[in-house]
Amino acid sequence: MISKGCGLLDPADASDAVLLEDIDEALMVLGESVRAAIYLYLERYHSLKKDEIPQRLENFSKAMRKIFGSGGPVIEKLILKRLCQKLNVNYESVKDKEFQAAVEETMKSAD
């Protein structure tokens, strides 16, 4: 269990929080205004709120491809790399999988 404030965080919530943090950090490479605009785009045109991303990775992946075209997977790789580093999982073992599958496997390996 990970403590959050004075309460405790469910393991699933904790891994979601880690993933969201990684997404935040990866998108930050484009700049703060762009990151904020990406979240806005996800919400406006894909009905995808930031905190729903961990549960809707396939939609997130589709939206990334819509925004960045073939650059979408590059952003996904950035996210995955950070996630693997944080959860101490070998990136090489998941890097060739689809984003959703790779994230799920990384989370599972870290349990």
Partner 1 sequence: MKAHLLWLVIRNQANDSKWSVFYINIGYTVDTEALMYRSNSRGQRSLREAISSGIPSLDKIIEGGFHVGDVILVAGQPGAGKSTLGVQFLYSSAKEGQAGVYATFVETASKLKRNMLRFNWDLAELERKKKINLLDLVQTIGERGVEVNLDAIMTAIKDIGAKRLVIDSLSGMMTYIQTKAEARSFVALMNRFLEEAKCTTLCTLEVPWARSDIGMGFEEFMADGLIVLESSLEQFKVRRRLYIPKMRGVNHALDCYDFYITPEGINVSPIPAARR
Residues lying near partner 1 in the complex (CB under 8 A) are found at 30-34, 36-38, 40-41, 44-45, 66-67
Cβ 35 to partner 1 shortest distance, Å: 8
Q: How many CB atoms lie within 10 A of CB 73?
A: 16
Q: Which residue has the tokens 């891994």?
A: 15
> Based on CB atoms, which residue is closest to partner 1, 32 or 111?
32
Cβ proximity to partner 1: between 49 and 66 the closer is 66
- Cβ distance 46 to 63 under 8 Å? yes
Least distance in angstroms from the C-beta of 41 to partner 1 = 6
Q: How far is the CB of 44 from partner 1 (least distance, A)?
A: 6
Residue owning tokens 């004075």? 6
Rounded to 5 degrees, φ, ψ at 108 are -65, -45
* Nearest CB to partner 1, comparing residues 26 and 84: 26
Residue 44 or residue 92: which is nearer to partner 1 going by CB? 44
Whole-number minimum distance, CB 51 to partner 1, in Å?
A: 18
**Helix extents (H) in 1-111:** 11-28, 32-46, 57-68, 72-87, 99-110
Query: Can you tell me the distance from the alpha carbon of 9 to that of 17, in angstroms, rounded to the nearest whole number?
Result: 10
